[in-house]
């Protein structure tokens, strides 16, 4: 069985879907791994390291894509799809809700495993690409904020006077938000945070952050508990109260990091333009949801917008690609952890187990049949 690792072609994508470490494990399972020359370079993985791990380095994408299982970071483009072996299985972050190539995957008879659709069950954690990448992105977002900010994070008492600590506001306290809080605290900032899941309060406080409370009715609390850890649909009253809390906190902040996402849908707008207009000159917003519509009015994908009042809105769409070495290492292990239990030692084949409730939800196209339905 051949596994192909093509170089990513999406602009700005520096990650790779297999490292020498995971290639070695696939090779030990009896798979022949074909890595496109240079595919790992931006993630610090050289052709020589892949070869030493047992891979065959091939010159072209066509060779890496003409294999039985293809491991990718971004969903295959139309051009890539035309080169994929008929009937192959492809693992990637397919973003099916905004992917225009689903028909092309069907026409090619592919099986497409959308890794971001893995359910949030304990058994699936080691294969969860959203968590592994969000964690690193949360860390890097704070460093991006620190870089754009013309001030410092910690309090400093100097002979020339005292420097006040920076105030960071984190909106959305999932995996990325928690890592952003922890990183901001480690760098000495004062951190405040909010999420519409009440369970996040304890997590924020355990990291030394201050919880920004938005009043919630008993009915809303019950709703919030019943969503299994995912965001619930807030009422107009909650959205109004939240906007007031956000307005006050953000107007006083030096750095704002927004991470609120709703899987498969457009991100909610949490910071209105009128709030951005009240921010101090030199303050910085990192809108981590910019590629799914943005949490901040006025943020632009892959741009730094400087507002009239001198705030900077940073809209980097692919933050994990800025920490490609570790992001690729974790992403590659996620894919290995997903596939390894389906390896048959006798035949050396990897066959997807469609009965497995961790595997089934990821199949957006199965042997050329479209399974995925866009949410209403
Ligand atoms: P996410 O990226 O989907 O969203 C980030 C955060 O934004 C979430 O905490 C969400 O509640 C919040 N949010 C969404 N809309 C909002 C709004 N309108 N206002 C304020 N906040 C809003 O979330 P995530 O990081 O993927 O994690 C979501 C939850 O799932 C967390 O509780 C996390 O611990 C849990 N989780 C569980 C597993 C597992 O058990 N396998 C794996 C990963 C995450």
Q: Is 213 exposed, middle or buried (0-12, 13-18, 19+ CB in 10 A)?
A: exposed
For the stretch 147-151, contacts whose Cβ atoms lie closer than 8 Å and that sit 24 or more positions apart, written own/partner, are 148/284, 148/286, 148/304, 148/312, 148/314, 149/254, 149/255, 149/282, 149/283, 149/284, 150/282, 151/254, 151/282
- Residue 174 Cβ inside 6 Å of ligand 1? The answer reads yes
For the residues 84-105, what does the mean pLDDT come to?
96
Global pTM reads 0.95
- Residue 134 Cβ inside 6 Å of ligand 1? The answer reads yes
Half-sphere exposure of 76 (CA within 13 A, CB side): 32
Which tens digits make up the pLDDT trace of 218-262? 888 888 776 666 667 888 999 999 999 999 999 999 999 999 988
Res. 152: pLDDT tops 80: yes
Task: Work out the mean pLDDT of the chain and round it to a whole number.
Answer: 95
CA of 172 to the centre of ligand 1 (A): 7
Q: What is the pLDDT confidence band of residue 289, given thresholds at 50, 70 and 90?
A: very high
- Residue 162 Cβ inside 6 Å of ligand 1? The answer reads no
For the residues 268-288, what does the mean pLDDT come to?
97
CA of 113 to the centre of ligand 1 (A): 22
Catalytic residues: 120, 125, 128, 131, 230
* Confidence (pLDDT) at 262: 84
In contact, 92 and 259? CB cutoff 8 Å = no
Q: Whose CA is nearest to atom 16 of ligand 1?
A: 260
Q: Tell which residue, 263, 270, 285, 193, has the closest CA to residue 239.
A: 270
Which tens digits make up the pLDDT trace of 334-345? 999 999 999 999
* Confidence (pLDDT) at 125: 96
């Amino acid at each position: 069985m051949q596994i192909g690792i093509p170089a990513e072609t999406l602009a700005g994508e520096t990650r790779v879907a297999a490292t020498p470490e995971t290639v070695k494990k696939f090779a030990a399972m009896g798979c022949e791994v074909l890595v496109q020359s240079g595919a790992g370079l931006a993630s610090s993985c050289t052709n020589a390291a892949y070869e030493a791990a047992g891979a065959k380095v091939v010159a072209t994408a066509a060779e890496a894509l003409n294999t039985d299982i293809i491991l990718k970071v971004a969903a295959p483009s139309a051009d890539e799809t035309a080169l994929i072996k008929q009937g192959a299985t492809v693992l990637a972050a397919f973003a099916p809700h905004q992917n225009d190539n689903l028909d092309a995957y069907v026409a090619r008879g592919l099986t497409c495993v959308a890794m971001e659709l893995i359910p949030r069950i304990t058994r699936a954690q080691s294969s969860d690409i959203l968590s592994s990448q969000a964690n690193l992105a949360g860390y890097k977002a704070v460093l991006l904020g620190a870089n754009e900010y013309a001030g410092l994070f910690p309090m400093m008492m100097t002979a020339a006077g005292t420097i006040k600590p920076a105030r960071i506001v984190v909106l959305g306290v999932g995996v990325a938000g928690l890592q952003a809080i922890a990183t901001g605290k480690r760098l000495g900032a004062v951190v405040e945070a909010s999420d519409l899941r009440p369970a996040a309060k304890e997590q924020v406080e355990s990291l030394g952050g201050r919880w920004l409370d938005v009043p919630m009715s008993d009915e809303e609390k019950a709703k919030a508990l019943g969503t299994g850890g995912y965001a619930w649909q807030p009422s107009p009253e909650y959205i109004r109260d939240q906007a007031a809390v956000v307005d006050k906190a953000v107007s006083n902040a030096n750095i704002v990091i927004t991470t609120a996402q709703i899987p498969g849908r457009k991100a909610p707008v949490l910071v209105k333009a009128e709030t951005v207009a009240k921010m101090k000159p030199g303050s910085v917003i990192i809108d981590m949801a910019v590629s799914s519509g943005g949490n901040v009015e006025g943020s632009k994908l892959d741009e730094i917008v400087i507002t009239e009042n001198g705030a900077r809105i940073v809209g980097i769409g692919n933050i994990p690609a800025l920490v490609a070495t570790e992001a690729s290492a974790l992403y590659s292990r996620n894919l290995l952890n997903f596939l390894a239990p389906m390896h048959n030692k006798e035949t050396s084949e990897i066959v997807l187990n469609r009965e497995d409730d961790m595997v089934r939800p990821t199949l957006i196209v199965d042997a050329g049949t479209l399974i995925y339905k866009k949410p209403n």
